[in-house]
Structure 1
Amino acid sequence: MSKPLLDPEQWYATLPTAFVSACLLLTDADDRVLVVKPNYRPYWMIPGGVIEAGELPQECAAREIGEELGLDVRAGELLVVQWSPPVDDRPRAMVNFLFDGGTVADPAGIRLQEEELDDAAFLPWDEAAARLAFHTAPRLLAARQAREAGRIVYLSDVFPATGG
């Protein structure tokens, strides 16, 4: 005898959940990467943020860049999708979409949202990756490969579930 099916509300309540975020890879004319230093984290980040209810990932990435950096940038091609398990104070897995934001023509046009950001800088790829959290650095390096190869990179299990 089979078990009766759960009603949709009960069934959905049994499914795992994840946080979802979206970022933009932005570079300057010298092929340096834009990274930001939030005031609420000890490490630098790729510009972007958490997706709001009903928002598409590419909309989130463009909105966050507008809010945090004052730039009107459209999300281009998808470069990287990264799934990462819970780490540090984050209790759930995170799925991140990293889109190509292209080249910032006028870096002087960047206006930091001081409520969230302490700094922003265009850095060489390796230096930018070194400033990122251990679970974010592989995403930046994969984005470079994806941009050069013209193909999307999927990352998962790039670090132990216990963090580090």
Structure 2
Amino acid sequence: MTWTEPAMWYANLASFYAAAAAFITDPAGNVLLVKPTYRDHWAFPGGYVDESEYPHDACAREIREEFGVSLAVGDLLVVDWAPPLGPRPRAIVSFTFDCGLLSNVDGLYLPAQELDDVGFFAEREAEQRLPEIVAPRLRAARRARDQHAPEYLTGGSAFPPAC
């Protein structure tokens, strides 16, 4: 039997990126999205998970950085495993957390170098503003919040796939 040194074994494992996002709604159920300066589309508030950072901590950090406020990061709503796409050479695991309700966007600080805009949108309009592979997370997050059970997606599709 051939023994592989742990360092070599770990170096040969698949690697992927991780991101954390906040699912925030207003009392009417509209979804909060941000418009990054560096993308053509809108997004859930959030960003990449740093090395040695837990996804829920990354979500809290991103909210502080993007809005200048602290919000409680609640239940995990959605995990979406997305394959490599376009210029992104690795898969990404996206964690979406329930970050509750906000009445409005008044008082949110938007860092000019990172965000152009923020707003609440009805479900259909929000889905149209999100990338096609990300849009399914919105309905999955809403279902998960309502049912108190997280949803697992693969590339934006339900798993296991519907028959």
What TM-score does the superposition give when structure 1 sets the normalisation length? 0.91
**Residues 82, 155 of structure 2: 8 Å contact kept:** yes
SS in 2 for 1:101: strand
Q: Deviations over 1:73-117 (max 9, x none)?
A: 021011000000011111100001100000014521211111111
1:5 corresponds in structure 2 to 3
Tell me which amino acid in the other structure corresponds to 2:6: P
Deviation of the 1:158 alpha carbon? 3.5
Measure the CA separation in 1 of the matches of 2:104 and 2:70.
11
1:40 corresponds in structure 2 to 38
Measure the CA separation in 2 of the matches of 1:103 and 1:142.
17
2:20 corresponds in structure 1 to 22
Deviation of the 1:33 alpha carbon? 0.5
1:162 corresponds in structure 2 to none
Unaligned runs of 5+ in 1: 160-164
Measure the CA separation in 2 of the matches of 1:138 and 1:59.
24
2:70 corresponds in structure 1 to 72
Measure the CA separation in 2 of the matches of 1:137 and 1:58.
21
Measure the CA separation in 2 of the matches of 1:34 and 1:41.
17
What TM-score does the superposition give when structure 2 sets the normalisation length? 0.92
**Match among 63, 86, 91 for residue 61 of structure 2:** 63
Measure the CA separation in 2 of the matches of 1:13 and 1:92.
15
Alignment of 1:1-164 (within 5 A): 2=1, 4-158=2-156
Tell me which amino acid in the other structure corresponds to 1:24: A
SS in 1 for 2:22: strand
For the aligned residue pairs, the C-alpha RMSD in angstroms reads 1.2
Q: Give the percent of matched residue pairs that are identical in Structure 1 and Structure 2.
A: 43
Q: How many residues align?
A: 157
